Chain A
Amino acid sequence: MPSVMLKKNAEGKLVFYVPKKDLEEVAESIEFDNPEKWGGEVLLSDGSKYYFEPMNEQPDFPVTLRAKRLD
């Protein structure tokens, strides 16, 4: 259950940062990414998958959230 710092980069893509692992990756896809629902499975550009508990609104980026590693 790593703490993940999420922010939007200049292109508007979600950047995924895990301080302890020096993991800084762009998220390729997010399961739910609309104003009403956000979260679910996130696929990173290095192929790894993480899961965020879906929430009812877009978080206010940048933000630190808990994620579950899926693979």
Chain B
Amino acid sequence: MAALTKEETEALIQEVLEIYPEQARKDRAKHLAINDQSLEKSNKCITSNRKSQPGVMTIRGCAYAGSKGVVWGPIKDMIHISHGPVGCGQYSRAGRRNYYVGTTGVNTFGTMNFTSDFQEKDIVFGGDKKLAKIMNEIEALFPLNKGISIQSECPIGLIGDDIEAVAKKANKEINKPVVPVRCEGFRGVSQSLGHHIANDAIRDWVLENRDGDESFATTPYDVAVIGDYNIGGDAWASRTLLEEMGLRVVAQWSGDGTIAEMEKTPKVKLNLIHCYRSMNYIARHMEEKYKIPWIEYNFFGPTKIAESLRKIAALFDETIQAGAEKVIAKYQAEYDAVIAKYKPRLQGKRVMLYVGGLRPRHVIGAYEDLGMEVVGTGYEFGHNDDYDRTIKEMGNATLIYDDVTGYEFEEFVKRVQPDLIGSGIKEKYIFQKMGIPFRQMHSWDYSGPYHGYDGFAIFARDMDMTLNNPCWKQVKAPWKTAESSDVAVAASV
């Protein structure tokens, strides 16, 4: 199917909105837009970071998901207590595939679930005593932990427990950082506020721990990788490239990261931000307080990687700039081979995306390297500044949808007929049953890494594997296909 024109896209949006009651229609209309590259600012065409409409199927998470699941969870040598009822922690445990090195349960705790398991009496009488008690238990059972964070679930805010006081007291007793995070799920409209709260907690409780301590030997090439959660090993694939060009990666935030790395981050020369949405807050804070500049980069697909490596290198001296060129040249044969192999199989295919964080705009370059086109994209919890950065990446007259509802997404897909959809697990089976190839792009469909040159090879393979899978030809019932009905008619005569 040919690309939709601007008018057709406009008509499609109007048609999809038709089903809503008037109020909801008015509200949802603000979240759906047609991309126009001539716009500088997204707020002219799209509204974002607003409360979802009651009654629609939204795909958003909560503030606890943003803090425990995204920002704090991957810090491997700390124990993150899901403070509140057991479910929030248990059902999200290890779901994000933030890989790490270490012995789980001994010196790393990434895939484990620690919870205060609130019961009725804790709601009635408060859970502070229980919290203090479990921190002592943790200290006895897991002495190699490097700190504890308290991730609040909804009831903590509702009953007004003073977790800060408990944290301060525990900090004195166990002599390790104890960080209370006020990320109750009801705060904000999506997980995005959870990221912000988590960033603020790092700012207030961790970042200044080593201020005035100059014992850490620095080099002029120290950088920190911020906002890379090592999904399927992403941060490792990124880190190798940075190290090969001559930089020293001091900290990984927060995939495969440690609290010691975070405390050392104020000593670096440059912060590299991959996921802008979840960690720009801390980067901005470090810029103000420690005068550390930050830049955004994109390690999806060879075009963007080369662009980013050069952009990073431009902020350093000639040795690093030469190093960047060397890295690009070194991997050229590798990624040219990947493109030569997969581009003919994927050329001209059209993709629709609906994910969170940085991916709705960052992966566009990787698809384009494979000759594919992204015809629709949207953020679960993006803000205006995300859409500002998306407009230039997307083609004209393509669809942009913010906090898309289940219904809208299905209708868009029915009309746009993309060859591939990249979204989350909740959307996966709907679209597979509609007979459309689908990749779960939140955690790379249990594959990965997708970052870096090594990741690009896996990305290309996965897309090919999904798109050109013979199963898609079998989705239609055999008696409903044209040839078989011809045969049946011929046989019956």
Contact = CB atoms under 8 A, between A and B. Distances in A.
Bound pair: A and B? yes
Interface of A: 5, 7, 17, 19, 22-24, 45-46, 62-64
Contacts of A64: 288
Interface in B265-290: 281, 284, 287-288
A62 to B, nearest CB: 5
A23 B48 CA distance: 12
Given A19-B281, A46-B41, A24 B388 contact: yes
B288 A62 contact: yes
B385 A22 contact: yes
B284 A22 contact: no
Interface in B377-430: 383-385, 388
Contacts of B43: 46
A7 B287 CA distance: 9
B483 to A, nearest CB: 54
A7 B293 CA distance: 10
A17 B49 contact: no
Interface of B: 40-41, 43, 49, 196, 281, 284, 287-288, 291, 383-385, 388
Nearest to B196: A19
Contacts, number: 24
Contact of A17 (B196, B284, B388): B284
A24 B196 CA distance: 17
A63 B285 CA distance: 9
Contacts of A45: 40
Contacts of B388: 24
Contacts of A23: 384
A22 B287 contact: no
Contacts of B284: 5, 17, 19, 62
Nearest to B383: A22
B281 to A, nearest CB: 7
A63 B385 CA distance: 20
Nearest to A6: B288
Given A7-B287, A22-B49, A62-B288, 10 more contacts: A5-B284, A5-B288, A7-B288, A17-B284, A22-B384, A24-B385, A24-B388, A45-B40, A62-B291, A64-B288
A30 B213 CA distance: 39
Contacts of A5: 284, 288
A26 B337 CA distance: 43
21 contacts: A5-B284, A5-B288, A7-B288, A17-B284, A19-B196, A19-B281, A19-B284, A22-B49, A22-B384, A22-B385, A23-B384, A24-B385, A24-B388, A46-B41, A46-B43, A62-B284, A62-B287, A62-B288, A62-B291, A63-B288, A64-B288
A45 to B, nearest CB: 8
A5 B40 CA distance: 21
A66 to B, nearest CB: 14
A5 B279 CA distance: 16
Contacts of B291: 62
B404 to A, nearest CB: 19
A23 B388 CA distance: 11
Contacts of B196: 19
